[in-house]
A and B are shown apart, each in its own frame.
Chain A
Amino acid sequence: GDSVTQMEGPVTLSEEAFLTINCTYTATGYPSLFWYVQYPGEGLQLLLKATKADDKGSNKGFEATYRKETTSFHLEKGSVQVSDSAVYFCALSDGTNAGGTSYGKLTFGQGTILTVHP
């Protein structure tokens, strides 16, 4: 079955440091890939997504590139802020309907806790 593996946390960085959170996946088809973020006391919010190989998703200074050859979708940010402290989840969506639009249930990684200090 499908699976997502994230790097173990927690990750602790100083403000303005470079961030990488590794994510690799296993899937039988051609999934869409996502990063979700969960701030303290809140639900998950979509951070970025990529729907096919070599696509780059980006939002709020975060980026991730869909690498089919290495089955990876690593999250990066050049300069983190204290406000980026949260839990980050990598996920994939399986299934493609007849019209070619990818949809389906999400499979999540275990989440990586990021803490950024001033």
Chain B
Amino acid sequence: ETGVTQTPRHLVMGMTNKKSLKCEQHLGHNAMYWYKQSAKKPLELMFVYNFKEQTENNSVPSRFSPECPNSSHLFLHLHTLQPEDSALYLCASSQEPGLAGEGTDTQYFGPGTRLTVL
């Protein structure tokens, strides 16, 4: 596998369910991101993890809970979602500058998980 992979590709869940989205990057990057893509709205950054530490939480409701166990894996745990949470959830990764200053601002995206909340 190369690049950024996401599973599942499609998910249908009820409002009382608990599910998790998984993202894995095979690029050796140290930063990972969750975005939400809704119809007719710009991409919304949800969370940023840099060197496994959460560095950004864009006022995301607590029913979305991210987890980053290592720099290659990122999860988004979902519980008691609302129908308006139905969207495409995109994961991305990038190489943030380290102590030596190397890095790039280019983010590489996975194919997304299409989530439908009934």
Contact = CB atoms under 8 A, between A and B. Distances in A.
Interface in A60-118: 89, 93, 97-106, 108-111
Contact of A110 (B42, B45, B92, B105): B42
Interface string B49-93: 000000010000000000000000000000000000000001010
A59 interface: no
Interface of B: 4, 6, 33, 40-43, 45, 48, 56, 90, 92, 94, 96-97, 100-112
B111 A43 contact: yes
A103 B96 contact: yes
Contacts of B109: 36, 43-45
B101 A43 contact: no
A54 B83 CA distance: 45
Interface of A: 4, 32, 34, 36, 41-46, 49, 51, 89, 93, 97-106, 108-111
A102 B105 contact: yes
A42 B96 CA distance: 24
Given A99-B101, A105-B48, A43 B90 contact: yes
Given A43-B4, A99-B101, A105 B106 contact: no
